[in-house]
């Protein structure tokens, strides 16, 4: 009998798609409730064969203390809450779904860009609260979008999908990503920036697509925002902690950039009194970019199917630490 433990779902969560995939006589699924600390996670998975998680901390201590654990399956793309080095040392696969929600997040980044560029939210609030005439103050510094430059921080799958959309809108594009080839950039009509500061200085809109890891945490900070045009907008649909949030707040307050469209934040959820909530040049959404009913239903099903395969000795489609495969726990 293989034990699959969920460390993020409440004990009464229906999880119909995961349960359907794991409805087998040799599998037991247990929901431990939301485990917020490494100690709670370890207590939940100490005897587990497979763990399912949303964003709980899987640290060295957790991975070392769960001798039967074969894999941690993270819903979605990011694996920033799993210590990948420790997982590899202990033979644990870190499983994710890097092909999940690519189009949805690209669409959301574009929606935030358009909302900022066209002052959609500010105009809506103003016309409702103060009347038609009050919207005139938002008619300055409105760009054309076509012919303007979109800067992409990192050029993975989501940024590539956004580039395809921006190209259809006749935008120029530049990307900073030292890990992608010139041929890939050329395929999407994207020029290469040799530094973040260069990208910031030439862009009318910047869209951030960095994964979160120790090297990228706080990577976009004061120097970057100071290099941006005062008419430019910053968009982030990746992870909040890749941005030094206080530096972004300071830059917005100082007028060093025109505004921002943000779906992710350093600490979530943000409080109603957060400085962003009082800035009418900032468009906010609640870490919502990936959401689509059909897409999430497919993800839930895939999580269950991956857990079943791993519990029975298999290897899933995607492993974020592939170097573990030769020495993985079986």
The catalytic residues are 239, 268, 287
Query: Is the CB of residue 44 less than 8 Å from the CB of residue 26?
Result: no
Under 8 Å CB-to-CB from 49, ≥6 apart: which residues?
2, 3, 4, 68, 69, 70, 310, 311
Separation of alpha carbons 196 and 226, rounded Å: 11
Q: Residue 175: left (phi > 0), alpha (psi -120 to 50), or beta?
A: beta
Reduce the DSSP state of residue 204 to 3 states and report it: coil
Separation of alpha carbons 321 and 58, rounded Å: 14
Q: H helices of the chain, where? A: 16-21, 38-45, 60-64, 84-89, 102-117, 120-129, 157-168, 182-187, 196-202, 222-227, 245-253, 293-311
User: Tokens 């654990």, residue?
Assistant: 69
């Amino acid at each position: 009998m293989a034990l699959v433990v969920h460390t993020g779902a409440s004990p009464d969560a229906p999880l119909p798609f995961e349960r359907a995939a794991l409805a087998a006589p040799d599998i037991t699924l247990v929901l431990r409730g939301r485990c917020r600390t490494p100690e709670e996670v370890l207590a939940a998975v100490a005897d587990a064969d497979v763990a399912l998680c949303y964003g709980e901390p899987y640290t060295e201590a957790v991975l070392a203390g769960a001798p039967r654990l074969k894999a941690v399956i993270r819903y979605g793309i990011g694996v920033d809450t799993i210590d990948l080095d420790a997982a590899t040392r202990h033979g644990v696969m870190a499983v994710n779904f890097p092909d999940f929600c690519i189009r949805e997040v690209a669409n959301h980044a574009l929606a935030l860009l358009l909302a900022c560029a066209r002052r959609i939210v500010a105009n809506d609030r103003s016309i409702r609260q103060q009347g038609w005439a009050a919207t005139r103050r938002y008619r300055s510094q409105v760009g054309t979008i076509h012919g303007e430059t979109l800067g992409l921080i990192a050029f993975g799958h989501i940024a590539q999908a956004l580039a395809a959309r921006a190209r259809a809108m006749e935008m120029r594009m530049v990307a900073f990503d030292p890990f992608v080839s010139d041929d890939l950039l050329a395929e999407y009509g994207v020029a290469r920036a040799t530094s973040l500061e260069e990208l910031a200085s030439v862009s009318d809109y910047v869209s951030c697509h960095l994964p979160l890891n120790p090297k990228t945490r706080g990577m976009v900070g004061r120097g970057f925002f100071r290099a941006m045009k005062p008419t430019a907008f910053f968009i982030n649909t990746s992870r909040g902690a890749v941005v030094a949030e206080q530096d972004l707040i300071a830059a917005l307050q100082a007028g060093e950039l025109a505004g921002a469209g943000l779906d992710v934040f350093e600490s979530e959820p943000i409080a109603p009194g957060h400085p962003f909530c009082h800035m009418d040049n900032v468009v906010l959404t609640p870490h919502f970019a990936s959401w689509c009913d059909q897409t999430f239903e497919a993800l839930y099903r895939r999580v269950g199917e991956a857990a079943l395969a791993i519990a029975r000795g298999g290897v899933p489609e995607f492993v974020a630490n592939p170097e573990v495969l030769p020495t993985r726990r079986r």
